Amino acid sequence: MSNNHTSLTEKTTFKINTQAKNIITITSSDSLIKAWQYALYQEEPVLILGEGSNVLFLEDFIGTVIINRIKGITVTEDNYSWKLHVGAGENWHDLVKYSLAHGIAGLENLALIFGCVGSAPIQNIGAYGIEFQKVCEYVDVLNLYTKKSFRLMAHECQFGYRTSIFMYRYKNGYAVIAVGLHLNKQWHPVLHYGDLAKLSHKYVTPKQVFNYVCHLRRLKLPNPKNTGNVGSFFKNPIVIPAVAEQIKFRYPKVPLYQQVSGNIKLAAGWLIDSCGLKGFQIGRAAVHNEQALVLINLDNATSHDVIKLARVVRNSVAQKFGVWLEPEVRFISSISEIDAIEALS
């Protein structure tokens, strides 16, 4: 367990200049418990962070930030499937590369998603037609008050679109410490989403899908190592069919995605782009020129710049389409996570 007083700027992909009173990097459940207890003893706010790829610190954090670096990958198999037990502090994209390097397919559509493995179940990450819940077998959780860990099977995680039980019931006082993945040996490519439909079901390989997904994401999304961002800033809104039909009548080119529930998913990036906001800038924060769903830190943007920009984007979409976008990014105040919608209202 390492302890240092340092900036949060390089601990997050948005690279907003903020500080924490204390930052502790942990590598085991025991060190996580000790760090948590230390913060409670100091009567300070405490926040657990992975790679900071989905957070916006609105101001300096007056307590302890715990960086989760619990690592380790264990692979077992039977005649039909591969099973991976993965520490929450592993890098997600590195896990995807690791699996392919070991002849294990099934994660390739989720390539180049920034962040740690432990964040994957919390928001049920997804891309190009696959969500985390499809490959999840279980999630191991640590109760920081009782110091006991327990396992939730996938059906107990209440997965939904960018949500799970970890955003509600197990949000405070709990930490994801590992996930279990179940990947079938009989591989079936998922190519129905977007440009992946150009690939051949008959001849494509997992590595080719991986390479194409990486290519597409690099074309559309800025690398946070070069340009501060958190990927998709807003969720794709899901609306009832009647609302979708009204928007389709007024804007025939709007892309619509039928959901199992019967509701319709709209492309938030398309809605923002249709408001003419690509490249729109407030202070040093801007809407990305290639993918309007991404808000970027041009250099030395403040959290106030980002909030003002996000508010303009949200209000513009609501005014034109009658749909209120919901932030995907977590907003962190000086003491805790706050309601992002309220912050933008």
Could you give the residue numbers annotated as active site?
162, 232, 328
Element containing residue 332 per DSSP (H, E): strand 330-332
Q: Could you give the CA distance from residue 213 to residue 100 in angstroms, rounded to a whole number?
A: 14
CB proximity list for 288: less than 8 A, separation 6 or greater: 221, 222, 229, 278, 294, 295, 296
Residues in the chain: 345
Q: Could you give the CA distance from residue 116 to residue 131 in angstroms, rounded to a whole number?
A: 15
According to the 3-state scheme, what is the secondary structure of 279-320? CCEECCEEECCCCCCEEEECCCCCHHHHHHHHHHHHHHHHHH
Q: Could you give the CA distance from residue 159 to residue 166 in angstroms, rounded to a whole number?
A: 9
Using alpha carbons, select from 108, 115, 114 the residue that is nearest to residue 129.
Answer: 108
- 94, 49 in Cβ contact below 8 A? no
Q: How many angstroms separate the Cα of 205 from the Cα of each of 2, 92, 102, 153, 201? A: 42, 21, 14, 30, 9
Q: What are phi and psi of 47, to 5 degrees?
A: -140, 135
Q: Could you give the count of Cα atoms lying within 13 Å of 321 in the half-sphere of its Cβ? A: 29
Measured in whole angstroms, how far is the alpha carbon of residue 332 from the centre of its chain? 15
Residue where the block lists tokens 């390097």 = 101
